[in-house]
Structure 1
Amino acid sequence: MAQWTQMNQLFQYMPTQTVTDLYPAAAFPIEVRYFLAEWIEEQRWEDFELENVEQAGKAQDLLEQIINILQNLAHQKPNVVERMRLMHISRNMNIFRQEPLQFGVMVRDILRKERVLLSNASSQASNQPLVSPDSVATNMCDVDQLVLKVLEIQDRRQKIHQLQEELNWERQNFESLQGQQNGLDPKNAELQKLKKLQSNIQKLEFNLQAMVKNRFQILQEAADCLDRCQMRLITRLKAWRWEQNQSTIGHPFDDNLSPLQTWCEQLLGVNGKLRQEGMLVGEPIPELLERLARLQQALIQSCLLVDKQPPQVIKTQSKFSTTVRYLLGEKMAPGKPVVFKAQIITEAQARNLGQLANLPSENVGELINNTAILENNSVTRSTCATFRHMSIKKIKRADRKGSESVTEEKFALLFSTEITITGCDTPYRIQMISVPVVIIVHGSQDNNALATIIWDCAFSEPDRIPFVVPERVPWKKMCITLNSKFMCEVQTKHCLDQYNQHFLAQKIFDNPDISEDFSNLLVSWGQFNKEVLPGRQFTFWQWFEGVMELSKKHLRDYWTEGLIFGFIGKQHLHLILKDRPNGTFLLRFSDSEIGGITIAYVAPSENGGQKIQNIQPFTKKDLEIRCLGNRIGDIKHLTLLYPDFPKHDVFRKYYTEDPVTSAKGGYLSTTLQTIVTTTEADAVSLSGLSMTPRCETPQDHSPHGYPMPQFQTSFSPEPSVQGAEFVPEFSDPGALFPGDLVQPENMDMDIEDILQRLGN
């Protein structure tokens, strides 16, 4: 209804005659548009063409609905004048029941004219060009103007035909009277009539020549307009493909192809009508017809898209799927099925595609299940070929240069077929390549292959030569990429703040200075994922990807609520925690381990001062055993989340009930609890049947000097089976007792024996 609302505002500036012409009273009066505004705009009228007789049923259905709605509205109106007017309109619309397609085309043209009027009004008000290259809606209005030009050309042709018939009639009368003029008095009425006929013939000839010239001019203007519209369409299709590629790194992407499909179909229809009009001219216009043929070929070959891209990291012998979509699928000529073929091509072959008349001759890989039939879905109005169970059996690699690895080599899938469009004499070859893919043979290569894809997606230009990317990029661009990818992978709206970004720069440039300005520095591909970080065994990307993976699976909610500080260097860490009370802590991603999160907290030092402690990082495996919320709740000397939020107020909702092992066969049930050991000698205290054992790891301190988080395992002091002999059961065999202590022959040992054995 938005379009009708805008038209209402425009009516006050429009001449009455323009409004009257727009809504013909005898066929589609303005009352119909007014009362049914929302319903009319919800229907699909663009499909209707007089030539498409298969759409007659749909047009008939819409017509019947309009008549029924008008009659129902009439019965609801208390005002007798409105009631009688609506009944009269509904009866008049019965004339279209014999020609429902004519009705559908009429409503389609009225809506198109409305859009043109609105666009022109908007253009005049803002003094801006009518067409914005980034707006499909605006371009559709431009197409509407093009359609109106075609209608104008057709109208001129009909008028030329009428003028020609009238001229032929007048010439015939003139010739008949001319044979009788000899010997007539110059004042004779017949002679005067002859002169009048001659004058009228001259006038008709002049008008006819002017109209023919005008029609030819409009035809040329329409061809120019079609060319411009099609260039914008092809540019938009390229932009769609680039945006699809950018979505890999988290950029927003609207994958709805319906508006673009309508645009393609309209341009093809306009081209066909212009070619018909060009052939109906008295003398053929070969230049115009050749130009329209070239435009048609370019359009037909540009409407193939990879709707669902293949995985950009493909492991050999693994199944994957991909889908191509043809936007002119509903315009294909009926006949034998259209079969698409897919093949693997190298980067060099992708560059040469535009220069080759045929498909690449060299086969660089064996692709299983590489054919698919193009099928139409009438519900979604999409025509697609889906390769459901493809796999790469083997791949032939190019010679690598220098230190280049196999995970830096880019390939693509090429999809191709021949297609025939209704109304075209010859078939056209159409083809399209996928986004770049990296082919691996082992899962261990996945991370490095993904780095190649991320660099390619983030820093490629829309119209590049396949698959050229810069070797160095500004740190600002890298920041945007890391932030977008992190938010996309973790599925969060909480972005990396300036402190996080600064630490990432410190990390990749190996510069711990917290006051350094990194914004104008360039990051190389080597710094991103070829060179290992100083003092580490992994690259920057491997470390960053590990953090994303951990956050995605275990930390999303904590991060989204801002409970995790994230990326922060130790120098900055000491700066913000140095004046905080003991027990203040924050959560940061480990910079020494892949996929770890650690707790930094303020603790009392031996000399009565304070020190910053960092607990051994929790990894994916640790958080699968016990979640982060419970671990924080377990550690008693953590009290305030930085800057000053009471721990339990913030994390209480993340506490879960401890998993309790079921008591069987007389055993006591057990639970796990995290503790932090800060000394080399861990005490094992037993009071009755309560003990605090070391459980998770045989070390008290990590190789990096972190205090070690461990488990406290507790169990019920009452036997689970009354009167039965029982011993505690632990989830980590060997972490509490040596193996010989849990053998059947030792089950009758008392507490003193256990303590003695542990002491030894």
Structure 2
Amino acid sequence: MAMWIQAQQLQGEALHQMQALYGQHFPIEVRHYLAQWIESQLWDSVELDNPAEETKAKRLLDNLVSELQKKAQLQGGEDGFLLKIKLGHYASQLKSTYDRCPLELVRCIKHILHSEQRLVQEATNVSASCGSGGQAMDSLSQRHQQINQAFEELRLATQDTENELRKLQHSQEYFIIQYQENLRIQAQLSSLSSLPPAERTQRETTLQSKRATVEAWLTREASTLQKYRLDLSEQHQKTLALLRKQQTLILDEELIQWKRRQQLAGNGGPHEGGLDVLQSWCEKLADLIWQNRQQIRRCEHLTQQLPLPGPMEELLSKLNADITDIISALVTSTFIIEKQPPQVLKTQTKFAATVRLLVGGKLNVHMNPPQVKAVIVSEQQAKALLKNESTHSESSGEILNNNCVMEYHQATGTLSAHFRNMSLKRIKRSDRRGAESVTEEKFTVLFESQFSVGGNELVFHVKTLSLPVVVIVHGSQDNNATATVLWDNAFAEPGRVPFIVPDKVLWPQLCEALDMKYKAEMHSSRGLSDDNLVFLAQKGFTSSSNNPEDYRNMTISWAQFNRESLPGRNFTFWQWFDGVVELMKKHLKPHWNDGAILGFVNKQQAQDMLLSKPNGTFLLRFSDSEIGGITIAWVAENPNKPGERLVWNLLPYTTKDFSIRSLADRISDLNHLLFLYPDRPKDEVFAKYYTPPLSKAVDGYVKPQIKQVVPEFTTPNPEPSGGATTFMDQTASPSVSHPNSFGVYPSMTDTMLDADGDFDLDDTMDVARHVEELLRRPMANQWSSQQS
């Protein structure tokens, strides 16, 4: 309800915009009397493009109708009688309107609430700026104010030319009447020959005097009309110049910035929307352009109706061509992709996209809904399309369900086509260049349509290209394909030739892209620190410098990023980084957000940090040698040399390990780990993530327990009468040379391991049963034999 209270305090143009949100599709009275209920509902949780959400939307509709009916019943007394009838009527009206399409109600209310929030926020920004002693408003508010002022100037200019055009029309109509009067006088003079001479002379003198007066007036008025026409033509030229300037500001700056934000959103950047604001501006432009075009057409008609000597015909022809160019640029530029297809596109996999015509509602395009077609094209085909070298859309593959009719949503005023079930059946690849792999080849989805406006007066063929997509056929290619997409999204320049990106970028530019990606995947404001970025620079450049300034002016190439393997490794810089991101995203996100994982620390740094701390202090760092691995490093005494302290590193865990037992539980199992670096008791950090103890026996069976054990740091427990304690073993390795070595796992030669050494669990066998099978072996004996 707080939002509605603020919305009611809007003034001027903002108030008019807020009131315009309501109508028969959703009465403003419903918003007023159900304000608290409406703002408490989770409208944003409903996915409008998902038909399966219709049940949720139907429930919201039924609840809305029910709330309205309750509110109506509460109205009493003489004053409440009419309101009771009105609210009851609205309940029935909403039920009948949206019962068959409840998702449209959700779309309508979401649009209203988001628009109100925007208007209130803009008004708040302006008030704050005005109340700060005349300080400059932020750049966003300044731009919006500039655009709104220009629209007001255009509105007044268009109104002026409309008034002048009406004056011209009235003057011309009177001129034609006088011209007809002159013709009538001439006809009368011609008929005087049949009259007697005396009478003829008298009448002729009178008529000739009258004719002279009329002709003199016509001569003067013709010059005046010509001047009116020229003046009006000059005013239209000025208005068209203002329209061009405003359109350039909106399309070449605001819309391009929106597209850039959309592209960066592919790397995890914030995409704050703003499309509804852009649509409102584009619709105002369309309205003003169309009004001026109609005025110019009326001028042409007046000129044809009464031809006068002068350059008007050429001037009007030029104005007509200019205004047509302006509206063509507006329509073709506002055919945009609202929801991009996935940029890593797997064949035989369903995907979705949404295209939108920002001026469709204003130009009544929906009266004859156009059909949109989607095809996938190569980089070369995209270049040819943008250069107008290709008149027809060649395809580099086959997309199923690639035709869709644009739908008009009256509640939001949007005209869009929702492709919900597209699938790329096949792809035709081009010849690769040099060392380029299939995951570096870029395609794009082309959306095209054709429609007419003004009663087929103007016909538009519109096209728009998606962001570059990389086509894969197997999930193993996803990692490298994502690298291509990230590089393109981060470093593409506006107006580029498809899909050229620099081969080298400054290291701080890549840091910004990696930080954006990392924070997005973690859903956290805690991104990569300066120390983290130095660690990554050391890895990317094979450097030992700890000074961030040493890397500020260094450049990193695409080959260093994801084509050449890191020294001594069989993976690239990106593959290592992406492995870290995947591990964190799937299993360790809360620990990163808690600050429990340092992560970006090498083995030598970990040793230096830990040796200055008490025994039992540990930290978590990412493995240098394994993709998507994390290890525990801790400081402890050397069991074989009393008094000597060593830093030990546990064999790295991967996502497979954490799918069996969580990090917190593993740390809980290891009693020799006492303090998380620098000095936090481990239970203080991890206890809230420990798995509760197993429940008691069910149906006479006791569940086995998986337990993390490092034999070198385990004090044997006496065996209970019922048998030995069961555990899984993972062995530490000291970070300095140590004569003793321990087996990582006992050898397993039976069929429970697949050819790749992974557990071969069928669908009906859970992890606990699998471990139970393992525990029936004499594992302790095997460990003893290995250690000996």
Give TM-score scaled by structure 1 length: 0.72
Change beyond 3 A, Cα 1:338–1:631: same
Instruction: State the distance in 2 between where 1:318 and 1:134 align.
Output: 45
Change beyond 3 A, Cα 1:172–1:757: closer
Instruction: Quote the residue 2:325 is aligned against.
Output: 294
Change beyond 3 A, Cα 1:139–1:588: same
One-letter code of the match for 1:225? L
Instruction: State the distance in 1 between where 2:614 and 2:569 align.
Output: 33
**1:674 touches 1:709 (CA, 8 Å); kept in 2?**
no
Cα deviation, 1:665-691, whole Å, max 9, x if unaligned, reads: x54443232222337x99685244463
Greater CA deviation, 297-306 or 379-388?
Answer: 379-388
**1:323 touches 1:386 (CA, 8 Å); kept in 2?**
yes
* Correspondence 1:570 to 2:603: yes
**SS of residue matched to 2:20:** coil
Gaps of 5+ in 1: 8-32, 48-54, 67-110, 177-195, 712-728, 743-750
Cα deviation, 1:72-114, whole Å, max 9, x if unaligned, reads: xxxxxxxxxxxxxxxxxxxxxxxxxxxxxxxxxxxxxxx9xxx
Instruction: Quote the residue 1:328 is aligned against.
Output: 359
Supply the RMSD in Å over aligned alpha carbons. Answer: 4.6
Say how many residue pairs are matched.
Answer: 624
Change beyond 3 A, Cα 1:690–1:279: same
Instruction: State the distance in 1 between where 2:425 and 2:734 align.
Output: 44
Cα deviation, 1:116-174, whole Å, max 9, x if unaligned, reads: xx99x99xx98999998983554243223212211121122334455667889999999
Instruction: State the distance in 2 between where 1:207 and 1:755 align.
Output: 111
Identity among equivalent positions (%) equals: 35
Instruction: State the distance in 1 between where 2:283 and 2:786 align.
Output: 82
Judging by fraction of residues, say which structure has more helix: 2
Match of 1:481 among 503, 506, 513: 513
**SS of residue matched to 2:498:** coil
Instruction: Quote the residue 1:592 is aligned against.
Output: 625
Instruction: Quote the residue 1:718 is aligned against.
Output: none
Instruction: State the distance in 1 between where 2:693 and 2:480 align.
Output: 38
> What aligned pairs does 1:419-434 form with structure 2 within 5 A after superposition?
419-434=451-466
**1:532 touches 1:538 (CA, 8 Å); kept in 2?**
yes
> What aligned pairs does 1:554-569 form with structure 2 within 5 A after superposition?
554-569=587-602
Match of 1:219 among 221, 227, 236: 236
Instruction: Quote the residue 1:394 is aligned against.
Output: 426
The alpha carbon displacement at 1:354 in A equals 2.4
Instruction: State the distance in 2 between where 1:437 and 1:466 align.
Output: 12
Cα deviation, 1:689-714, whole Å, max 9, x if unaligned, reads: 463455256x7769999988999xxx
**SS of residue matched to 2:457:** coil
**SS of residue matched to 1:325:** strand
* Correspondence 1:732 to 2:771: yes
Change beyond 3 A, Cα 1:64–1:758: closer
Instruction: State the distance in 2 between where 1:355 and 1:730 align.
Output: 63
**SS of residue matched to 2:728:** coil
* Correspondence 1:405 to 2:440: no
**2:709 touches 2:727 (CA, 8 Å); kept in 1?**
no
One-letter code of the match for 1:271? I
Match of 1:612 among 628, 639, 647: 647
Cα deviation, 1:366-386, whole Å, max 9, x if unaligned, reads: 222221111112233222222
Change beyond 3 A, Cα 1:687–1:412: same
* Correspondence 1:375 to 2:404: no
Instruction: Quote the residue 1:654 is aligned against.
Output: 689
Instruction: State the distance in 2 between where 1:307 and 1:278 align.
Output: 34
Instruction: State the distance in 1 between where 2:445 and 2:29 align.
Output: 47
**SS of residue matched to 1:399:** coil
> What aligned pairs does 1:239-278 form with structure 2 within 5 A after superposition?
239-278=257-296
* Correspondence 1:318 to 2:335: no
The alpha carbon displacement at 1:337 in A equals 4.2
One-letter code of the match for 2:296? G
**2:649 touches 2:732 (CA, 8 Å); kept in 1?**
no
Change beyond 3 A, Cα 1:702–1:158: same
One-letter code of the match for 1:567? F
**2:706 touches 2:771 (CA, 8 Å); kept in 1?**
no
The alpha carbon displacement at 1:459 in A equals 1.1
* Correspondence 1:455 to 2:487: yes
Gaps of 5+ in 2: 33-118, 185-212, 304-312, 747-767
The alpha carbon displacement at 1:450 in A equals 1.1
> What aligned pairs does 1:325-364 form with structure 2 within 5 A after superposition?
325-330=356-361, 331-333=363-365, 337-356=369-388, 358-360=390-392, 362-364=394-396
Change beyond 3 A, Cα 1:505–1:292: same
**2:710 touches 2:732 (CA, 8 Å); kept in 1?**
no
Instruction: Quote the residue 1:544 is aligned against.
Output: 577
Change beyond 3 A, Cα 1:633–1:130: closer
Change beyond 3 A, Cα 1:704–1:323: farther
* Correspondence 1:686 to 2:715: no
Change beyond 3 A, Cα 1:635–1:709: farther
Change beyond 3 A, Cα 1:759–1:647: closer
The alpha carbon displacement at 1:625 in A equals 1.9
Instruction: State the distance in 2 between where 1:64 and 1:621 align.
Output: 53
The alpha carbon displacement at 1:426 in A equals 3.5
Instruction: Quote the residue 2:163 is aligned against.
Output: 155
Match of 2:335 among 272, 281, 304: 304
**2:398 touches 2:426 (CA, 8 Å); kept in 1?**
yes
The alpha carbon displacement at 1:470 in A equals 0.9
Match of 1:674 among 708, 717, 742: 708
**1:346 touches 1:411 (CA, 8 Å); kept in 2?**
yes
> What aligned pairs does 1:130-149 form with structure 2 within 5 A after superposition?
135-136=143-144, 138-149=146-157
One-letter code of the match for 2:237? Q
**2:397 touches 2:427 (CA, 8 Å); kept in 1?**
yes
**1:146 touches 1:222 (CA, 8 Å); kept in 2?**
yes
**2:648 touches 2:732 (CA, 8 Å); kept in 1?**
no
The alpha carbon displacement at 1:488 in A equals 0.5
Instruction: State the distance in 1 between where 2:297 and 2:261 align.
Output: 40
One-letter code of the match for 2:556? V
Instruction: State the distance in 2 between where 1:426 and 1:337 align.
Output: 15
Instruction: Quote the residue 2:661 is aligned against.
Output: 626
The alpha carbon displacement at 1:406 in A equals 0.8
**SS of residue matched to 1:732:** helix
Instruction: State the distance in 2 between where 1:710 and 1:640 align.
Output: 27
Instruction: State the distance in 1 between where 2:496 and 2:782 align.
Output: 73
